[in-house]
Amino acid sequence: MNILTPNSPTAELQALDAAHHMHPFTHGAALREKGARIITRAEGVWLNDSDGNRILDAMAGLWCVNVGYGREELAEAAARQMRELPFYNTFFQTSHVPAINLAARLAELAPDDLNHVFFANSGSEANDTNLRMVRAYWHVKGQPERTHIIARWNGYHGSGVGSGSMGGMKSIHSQGGLPIPGIHHIDQPHWYLEGGQMTPEEFGLARAQQLEEKILEIGADKVAAFIAEPLQGAGGVIVPPATYWPEIQRIVDKYGILLIADEVITGFGRTGQWFGCQTMDVRPDIMTVAKGLSSGYQPIGASIVSDEVARVIDGVEFNHGYTYSGHPVACAVALENLRLLDEEGIVDRARTHVAPYLKQRFESLADHPLVGEVKIIGLMGSLALTPDKPSRASFAAEAGTAGLITRERCFANNLIMRHVYDRMIISPPLVISHEEIDTLVERARLSLDEAHAELIQRGLM
Residues that bind ligand PMP (CB under 6 A): 62, 122-124, 127, 156-158, 229, 233-234, 262, 264-265, 290, 301
244 touches 207 (CB < 8 A): yes
Distance CA 373, CA 379 (A): 17
At residue 77, what are phi and psi to the nearest 5 degrees? -60, -40
Nearer to ligand PMP, 420 or 455 (CB): 420
Q: What is the DSSP string of 36-92?
A: ---EEEEEBTEEEETTS-EEEETTHHHHT-TT-B--HHHHHHHHHHHHH-S-----T
Give the residue closest to ligand PMP by C-beta.
123
Smallest gap, in angstroms, from Cβ of residue 83 to ligand PMP?
27
For the bound state, the minimum distance from the C-beta of residue 235 to ligand PMP, rounded and expressed in Å, comes to 9
Q: Which is nearer to ligand PMP, 57 or 212 (CB)?
A: 57
Interior/surface letters 222-232, b for 16+ CB within 10 angstroms, e for the rest = ebbbbbbbbbb
**Residue type, position 240, single letter:** P
For ligand PMP, the closer of residues 417 and 461 by Cβ is: 417
- Judged by beta carbon, residue 165 or residue 386, the one nearer ligand PMP is 165
Please provide the DSSP assignment of 206-263 as one string: HHHHHHHHHHHHH-GGGEEEEEE-SSBSTTT-BPPPTTHHHHHHHHHHHHT-EEEEE-
Q: How far is the CB of 267 from ligand PMP (least distance, A)?
A: 9
User: Of 399, 313, 320, 274, which is closest to residue 91 (Cα–Cα)?
Assistant: 320
Residues 6+ apart with CB under 8 A from 280: 230, 231, 240, 245
Shortest Cβ 443–ligand PMP spacing (Å): 24
Of 229 and 422, CB closest to ligand PMP: 229
Instruction: Give the nearer residue to ligand PMP in terms of CB position, either 204 or 233.
Output: 233
Report the nearest approach of ligand PMP to the CB of residue 292 (Å).
11
First to last CA, the chain: 51
CA atoms in the 13 A half-sphere facing the CB of 276: 27
Residue 236 CB, nearest approach to ligand PMP (Å): 12
Shortest Cβ 216–ligand PMP spacing (Å) = 27
Closest to ligand PMP by CB, 50 vs 165, is: 165
If we measure between CA atoms, which residue out of 186, 142, 133 comes closest to residue 163? 133
CB of 459 to ligand PMP, least distance (A): 35
Q: Which helix (H) or strand (E) holds 371?
A: strand 371-377
CA distance 113 to 62: 29
Question: By C-beta, is 124 or 279 nearer to ligand PMP?
Answer: 124
Residue whose CB is less far from ligand PMP, 226 or 395: 226
Q: Computed over its alpha carbons, how large is the radius of gyration of the chain?
A: 22
What's the gap between Cα 351 and its chain centre? 19
Is 158 or 195 the residue whose CB approaches ligand PMP more closely? 158
CB of 265 to ligand PMP, least distance (A): 4
Work out how close the CB of 119 gets to ligand PMP at its nearest, in angstroms, rounded to a whole number. 13
